[in-house]
A and B are shown apart, each in its own frame.
Chain A
Amino acid sequence: MTVLDSKVPEGPIEKKWTKHKNEINLVNPANKRNIDIIVVGTGLAGGSSAATLAELGYNVKTFCFQDSPRRAHSIAAQGGINASKNYQGDGDSDYRLFYDTVKGGDYRSREGNVYRLAEVSSNIIDQCVAQGVPFAREYGGLLDNRSFGGVLVSRTFYAKGQTGQQLLLGAYSAMNRQINRGKIQSFNRHEMMDLVLVDGKARGIIARDLVTGEIERHSAHAVVLASGGYGNVFYLSTNAMGSNVMAAWRAHKKGAFFANPCFTQIHPTCIPVSGDLQSKLTLMSESLRNDGRIWVPKHIKDAEAIREGKLKPTELSEEDRDYYLERRYPAFGNLVPRDVASRAAKERCDEGYGVNRTGQAVYLDFKAAIERYGKEKAFTSGHKNPGEEEIIKLGEEVVESKYGNLFEMYEKITDQNPYKTPMMIFPAVHYTMGGLWVDYNLMTTIPGCYATGEANFSDHGANRLGASALMQGLADGYFVLPYTIGDYLADDIRTGRISTDTEEFEKAEKEVKERVQKLFDAKGKNPVDYYHKKLGKIMWDKCGMSRNVKDLKEALEEIKELRDDFWANVRVTGKQGTKNAELEKAGRVADFLELGELFAKDALERNESCGGHFREEYQTEDGEALRDDENYRFVSAWEYVGNPRDAKLHKEELIFENIELKTRSYK
């Protein structure tokens, strides 16, 4: 237990962060000029860290595999960003945001970190507005809010369905300012291939220039990993195609503990898989569940007929439909949290009630909403006795004004008109709560190596609430890391430039080159995607929405076999010395093949159900998650010792002093 010191400061929860900031070491401005920091990843967490660190005076180098920092996958976040501003006067406070986040995470996150997140959340909005982020506004010129799943207040700030894009462009503009000043050097189309340790401290990285293929050494006094999550271990996810775990996994193999890898969020409303050759899943915003009713046919014969195309959903009468969320959770209905909604959809489809050609989809129906809004609209416009056609016309207009862009996107992808026929949706992998273990300062178990944003594990426990990912990324980057990193770097003011001409860099570079060569040497017959798809299928079938001992044990074996086969039979075409997407993919999949095994092991060892982790053996009589606070109220932090499955478990006990542990119920 001594290995894991969370470094959460003593004292009352609302004073911890202020106290900590007052007590930690600082680096004076003149000395900051002599200190280099590497930031890997340029999404919300990386972009905001880089900008702020550069502004403070550090010399920053950023790395991203995309052709521009602005393309990082934070850009795809739709819904919004939470902040406890209480602009609506509905009783919101830092404590309430803190409480909702801990509860939403099913009591598997660290109180101190989450409270700090809530505390700085308001600052994020101020900051972003000052930077020119065009948040939605009311006619009075003030900021607008919307509400999101799982909470009782309206605290979500948004910019239509493109909040992530606008926030990322804000962070990128802050980066631009520093790039223009020469304080940030941005290395785009570069991938971090390994972390370099000197005397046990993170002192640099080995990166591959994705255009020339050159393997480069970069040194720094500290390395910040803001490289996002690992949802792509499932092959199909809402992540970008390039999203990968390489940076985090390389750090893990060099000594950073990996925490709670099995905590993965499966988002309930995504467009279902249409065929075997699909590459990517598209999210439909959670906000749709405000007005859409989720159902499947009540009778299996109807479901079969629908799958065969003999029956249309609109032909099914009300009594032949099963609105299963409303049936099972009368209190929250269609607005239960993401993990609950996803599992319920899976349960119905497993029982054979699924629709779509594949049987892997449920309906999200707006007919009732269209009728309700239509009647309302007709009534308010003085039309007391409207005909059915008119009601539908008016109702569709209202729905269009609320969700028009989402409906359009759905139609573009599926070629079906969601105003006329119910949408089909299915859960998909969306976010990973697990990640590199970090202490209160966001430092991993490697001194000088930090992890921020989705790449770390700290704030969301076993399930993340909507609109909280953007908040965490920016909180870490703008307001937490820039302070805490000074505490570590204060010891480095006399170190001077770190030379890359040392044994450690040489060795790391050599290993990277060998690994790359090994990928080419396999000269097998299967493309990289072949392995990625197979891995994804194992993960989805056996480590997905519900897990059990037997499946997880099988997954452990199957992943290992697949990995061995990969290294023996993969075919990587092209050359090392040019742009080579196959080689890039191969390197990433190789790491997923290791992470997947650790993932399965973590899921196997956690003998309870909590949040996104549902173990079939641990459920209540009516199929709800059954947490085991007595035995599993801890963070599983895995130390790499050779094979992923042999990883050594370190437990960080979670202490709840400000929140009482309760069973989540949505009945």
Chain B
Amino acid sequence: MKLNLKIWRQEDAQDKGGFQKYTVDGIDGDMSFLEMLDVLNNTLVEEGVDPIEFDHDCREGICGSCSLQINGEPHGPDRRVTTCQLHMRKFKDGDDIVIEPFRATAFPVIKDLVIDRSAFDRIQHAGGYISVNTSGNTQDANSIPIEKDNADDSFYAATCIGCGACVAACKNASAMLFTAAKVSQFALLPQGEVEAHERVLSMVDQMDKEGFGNCTNTGACEIECPKGISLENIARMNREYLGASFSG
């Protein structure tokens, strides 16, 4: 199939950037969206043009490197997939596709479609851990029984791949779903309860400092999240946060 692409090009963080139009041909439905971009890039290199820069690594939907706002949706029109798992069979011959970087003030563009998501890392530095030494002198793993439901919920929150689709989808560029997933993962476990108050306060504080928007509960993040992280986590974080604030 043949596709008309409109892709955001930007030399570096300082550059203003703009859209460029490209056409790719010979695209097979079994190819992934990123493989389609590979094809385009190889043609560009052969023509001596700088290829389009985009983040990607594992290409199996788990590392969270790939991003891309495709026709106005993070990771494109398919649900529960990252861009690397979006297959071209979701498009038709002759389709127009607009490809932009995830947009948020807290995610500045580095080059073309590559963005800087280190704000997410800083939120995790602020409290995304349980303060236990790694010396191995801990108690036996089975001495802390954990209710299966809580363990499962903690796991589901922990499946977040940190891709930033939640921020990209949110009309307010809010990072609440990401932060909530990180807070919930620990808040649901007895090991994490001890520091729960301090954790939620400092992570939310960092989230605010990074310049993400406020959550207005549109729910777009949950729908676009490739891992389907639930909005319940946001409610939980709100609860945790208010509890922590009121108890001082």
Contacts and interface: CB of A to CB of B under 8 A. Distances in A.
Q: Is there any pair of Cβ atoms, one from A and one from B, under 8 angstroms apart in the complex?
A: yes
Given A126-B140, A159-B155, A573-B51, A134 B185 contact: yes
Interface in B49-70: 49-51, 53, 55-65
Given A68-B118, A126-B136, A241-B57, A279 B125 contact: no
Interface residues of B, number: 82
Contacts of B11: 578
Given A173-B124, A176-B128, A67 B116 contact: yes
Contact of B135 (A55, A138, A143, A528): A55
Interface in B39-92: 39, 41-42, 44-46, 48-51, 53, 55-65, 78, 81, 84-85, 87, 89
Interface in B144-161: 144-148, 151-152, 154-155, 158-159, 161
Given A134-B189, A142-B142, A159-B155, A68 B121 contact: yes
B150 to A, nearest CB: 9
B34 interface: yes
Interface in A477-503: 478-479
Given A126-B136, A165-B159, A571 B58 contact: no
Given A162-B62, A179-B125, A279 B111 contact: no
Interface size class of A (residues with CB under 8 A): 35 or more
B129 A578 contact: no
A574 interface: yes
Contact of A129 (B61, B117, B144): B144
Interface in B104-156: 110-111, 114, 116-118, 120-121, 124-136, 138-142, 144-148, 151-152, 154-155
Interface stretch (B25-33, B167-175, B211-219, B234-242): B25-33
Chief secondary structure at chain B's binding surface: loop
Contacts of A174: 129, 134
Interface string A605-628: 000000000000000000000000
B23 interface: no
B205 interface: no
B35 interface: yes
Given A66-B65, A177-B131, A579 B114 contact: yes
A52 B41 CA distance: 41
Given A141-B146, A173-B130, A573-B45, A240 B141 contact: no
Q: What are the nearest 4 A-B pairs in CB distance?
A: A141-B145, A173-B129, A134-B155, A130-B138
8 contacts: A127-B134, A134-B185, A137-B152, A141-B147, A188-B118, A280-B84, A412-B81, A579-B114
Interface of B: 11-12, 28-32, 34-35, 38-39, 41-42, 44-46, 48-51, 53, 55-65, 78, 81, 84-85, 87, 89, 110-111, 114, 116-118, 120-121, 124-136, 138-142, 144-148, 151-152, 154-155, 158-159, 161-162, 185-186, 189, 191-192
